Amino acid sequence: MGDLTGESRILLTGASGFVGRAVLAEARAQGVQVVAVSRSAAPGQVPQGKGLTWIEADLSDPASIPALRAAAQGCTAAIHAAAHLGSDEGAVSAATIGGTRHLLAALDGLPLHLVLVSSIAVYDTARLSPGSEVTEQTPLESPASARNAYVSGKLTQEALCRASGLPLWILRPGAIFGEGRTWNAHLGPSLGPVLLRVGMKGELPLAHVGHVARRLLQAARRRPDGVRVVNVIDPDRPDRTRFLRAHAASGWPKLVLPLPWPLWMLAARLLAPFAARLPGLLRVPVIKARMMPLRYPDRGLQAALGPLPQPRFGTLMAQSVREGKE
């Protein structure tokens, strides 16, 4: 693996999304040229300027392949951030899986490397016990039996990229937060203004969107030998109590009702015969993935891409809440 020398030019899919916009802003600050791919060209709420070219293409449509291939000419790397963020099976099939197939067809034979934005959700935490570490060596779920369509889509997306033969970074961010997106699914279910907080201990696998963007650009400028997998987690990871204290400035939740982790798990196990008809936070695999007290070390990230100083969690959350109100 080595740093790319000279001027970098990067193809970026999902350029108008939450992560894509952050990558564009960071690339502009670093003077990196970007060919930005979006379903609508040059959206008004994203960075513009020298070194930035917008391409209008719907990755879910195979007709986009020629335009994608033309856009990728002269690029040293491609950051693939386009995907469906929900669990709608049809949307995952079209946007996440179909979009990845079409991008890989467009990149076939080109002398660049690929940086895939995957997710820390792909790990099979159902096999773990409270207090365990989630690392790059933790077993993965199976696409056929994954706990939801989003996880299945991300696993399939990773497999497609591995099979492409392209030099590949797979970056698996944790729960990404930043301006306009400060909450995550690891806190517990809500009932109107009330949060049912499940447990207290364990780290939240948070990753600030600016941190994720900088790591993606680092990977885009370092051509890997083969396939490299890295979890992207912030160095300062709060527990649920610390998170809620920092998030209080947003005005939500109005009331927090604590529920012991063992009690919630007992209820889920008793309801297991009806799991197919229950919401996710009453099904054991989902609860263990989101609520079980776990640790998320960043040793792999530090070893692969080096340290990257950033403010502590409280400062980042305060900034995100303030920006979301402006």
For residues 8 and 35, the answer to whether their CB atoms sit within 8 Å is no
Q: Please classify residue 227 by burial: count the beta carbons closer than 10 Å to its beta carbon, then call 0-12 exposed, 13-18 middle and 19+ buried.
A: middle
Q: Token pair 């961010």 is at which residue?
A: 173
What tens digit of pLDDT does each residue of 99-151 get? 999 999 999 999 999 999 999 999 999 899 999 999 999 999 999 999 999 99
Instruction: Look up residue 95 and give its DSSP letter.
Output: I
Structure token digits, residue 13: 């899919």
Q: Residue type at 203?
A: E
Region 277-292: mean pLDDT is: 81
Q: pLDDT value at position 7?
A: 67
Q: pLDDT value at position 80?
A: 98
In the chain, what are the domains? 2-183+204-236+295-325 (3.40.50.720)
Residues 147 and 253: their CA atoms lie apart, in Å, by 27
For residues 323 and 250, the answer to whether their CB atoms sit within 8 Å is no
Closest among 188, 159, 184, 316 to 246, alpha carbons compared: 316
Q: pLDDT value at position 310?
A: 95
Residues 326 and 321: their CA atoms lie apart, in Å, by 9
241-248: which pairs have CB atoms within 8 A and are 24 or more residues apart?
241/200, 242/313, 242/314, 243/187, 243/204, 243/206, 243/313, 243/317, 244/187, 244/195, 244/197, 246/313, 246/314, 246/317, 246/318, 247/182, 247/183, 247/317, 247/321
For residues 125 and 111, the answer to whether their CB atoms sit within 8 Å is no
Question: Alpha helix locations (H) across 92-146?
Answer: 99-107
Q: pLDDT value at position 45?
A: 60
Structure token digits, residue 125: 């935490």
Structure token digits, residue 71: 């856009």
For residues 149 and 96, the answer to whether their CB atoms sit within 8 Å is no
Q: How many CB atoms lie within 10 A of CB 40?
A: 10
What tens digit of pLDDT does each residue of 9-37 get? 999 999 999 999 999 999 999 999 999 99
Residues 107 and 48: their CA atoms lie apart, in Å, by 25
Q: Please classify residue 248 by burial: count the beta carbons closer than 10 Å to its beta carbon, then call 0-12 exposed, 13-18 middle and 19+ buried.
A: middle
What tens digit of pLDDT does each residue of 215-271 get? 999 999 999 999 999 999 999 999 999 999 999 999 999 999 988 888 888 887 887
pLDDT averaged over the chain?
92
What tens digit of pLDDT does each residue of 68-81 get? 999 999 999 999 99
For residues 257 and 161, the answer to whether their CB atoms sit within 8 Å is no
Q: How many CB atoms lie within 10 A of CB 139?
A: 12
Q: How many CB atoms lie within 10 A of CB 145?
A: 10
